[in-house]
A and B are shown apart, each in its own frame.
Chain A
């Protein structure tokens, strides 16, 4: 992965749970520009584990003076967001990857409808700037149970196209109404909890939306599980801890695996399986159902294994 060494230029709490971080080049150089929806992977040297988390860029895609991300503290999470909140200070140097976009706007669309829930508002912040610059019609719907949980509110600009739905205030988001009245050529982008994405997909299917007009990005953290062991071609065995991903275990053992999103979406880490006695717990959005059932491939960034033995083509 090509990485940049950047200086933390600002750390600004936006709400009790969400903090904004700004990275700049230490020598003041312009950073590569990106497109709305892109993310970077931030490296966090936490004691003896090297954590790497993907975060959507929320700053203006055409502003190379810095990259900004918003991180929600997940106290029950694996530790990456806690590290960002507790340990990162202005002036620190951090390694981040170049931006990659797996959730870009389809610029053939006539209109863009962005639907976000929780911290799943972040990729839309950069997309909003892009859409405004392109002067394309759009609407953004942001849903949360309560105002306290609406982590993204502090990040949203005040625009007439932005609709906030707080269900505790009796203002629940009505997906049927949103999807049922869009002109031809509208594309929908959903980011947030899996339940929200599934609800949009179901509503779309019920109303006859073509699949190609529905886009989504789920924030997938490697799920914990029971520890397991994998075997490499050489016969070497690698232990994977309960809160470690297979990818992290391979990296800790200095086994080279390519990666990009670390969230089961991009396909870069796809690894062949030469023998499998047991069951692969596939958590990715990359392999097809048939491929998953065949148990001949695994996405080490999010997927795990239970059973007797798993041998990888590595």
Chain B
């Protein structure tokens, strides 16, 4: 699947450019599902990028694992979910030295959470590269109960934590790595606009 080009209409959404190799500098790589293809293309452009790379992959049903493993990263690890990979990822951030390159590829939820962790670990935003691939489903935080609903594809949607019907705001929080959802029928309980598919 090719790189997703979002229209620049959402001002708070991070810009997901194409990954660019920084040679054989120490690297931390995190990808989910179709994001694997971004790393495969990165390694094709500059194989040295894998020399000192620690690569963590979350397949989420995709079959790219074996090809990724063959790229020759110094360390390769697969995890069933971001939360399962988190302990390893945090440890890698803790041990990393300045100059380490962070490459993120895949869905917005993965990129957002991984970038938020890295920022909290002290990595400046300009040291983080990310490329969007695959599903454009959104990771949504409910502003009322603060619960996060993954893979939201419709607007409005039902919060998987408190059950309110939420309007999908075009406001991305870098700290949370999620968009924000607000109760759509607070003033007119029960009157909910028709559900539409999220297209961008």
Contacts and interface: CB of A to CB of B under 8 A. Distances in A.
A207 B127 CA distance: 12
A184 B123 contact: yes
Interface in B84-101: 93-94, 96-101
A212 B123 CA distance: 10
Contact of A210 (B26, B93, B97, B124): B124
Nearest to B120: A185
Interface size range on A against B: 10 to 19
B22 interface: yes
B98 A213 contact: yes
Contacts of B100: 184, 208
A110 interface: yes
Interface size range on B against A: 10 to 19
B122 A210 contact: no
A167 interface: no
A182 B101 CA distance: 14
A109 B123 CA distance: 8
B11 interface: no
Interface in B46-74: none
B101 A212 contact: no
Interface of A: 108-111, 179-186, 207-213
25 contacts: A108-B122, A109-B122, A179-B98, A179-B99, A182-B98, A183-B97, A183-B122, A184-B98, A184-B100, A184-B121, A184-B123, A185-B98, A185-B122, A207-B98, A207-B99, A208-B22, A208-B26, A208-B101, A209-B98, A210-B123, A210-B126, A210-B127, A212-B125, A212-B126, A212-B127
**Shortest beta-carbon contacts, A-B, top 5:** A185-B122, A210-B127, A208-B99, A110-B122, A208-B25
